[in-house]
Amino acid sequence: MEATTNSLTPSAPVHPVSIAILANVVPRTYRGVMCRNIKRLYNLEPTASPEEIRGAAVQYVRKVSGSTKPSAVNQDAFDAAVDAVADATATLLESLRTSAPARTREQEAEQARKRAERRLAAQS
């Protein structure tokens, strides 16, 4: 992959995968609304499984690349990006600490239902 330059320091090359991974640390006010298909994985009981982490990585790479199914020529790059994002996500989830009580998947599902109801009501 070809490195791009960082807009803050034009002479510093930045790897495209780094840009994709770091995009998640920008405050919400600067990056808009998070993709609804990517679920919150931190502070869940039981903890996020490797399959859930990989699923989120696939959704993220699909969103960033604009492709749900990459062409054969791009498959290796797509798979490498998914692996890198999944690894970074697993590292992040293992490193984070909180004093808040863990949430259950049922609580998350209920909150998602409420958000969907509000979205649908606003569209009406």
Strand partners, 4: 14
pLDDT: which is higher, 32 or 102: 102
Cα 61 from Cα 3, distance rounded (Å): 18
The per-residue pLDDT for range 13-71, each reduced to its tens digit, is 445 555 455 455 444 443 444 456 678 899 999 999 999 999 999 999 999 999 989 99
Look at residue 8 and tell me whether its pLDDT is greater than 80: no
CA 69 to chain CA centroid, nearest Å:
18
| pTM to 2 decimal places | 0.64
Task: Tell me the residue range of the domain where 73 lies.
Answer: 4-123
Other residues' Cβ atoms within 10 Å of the Cβ of residue 107: 12
Structural domain total, the chain: 1
Confidence of residue 9 (pLDDT cuts 50, 70, 90): very low
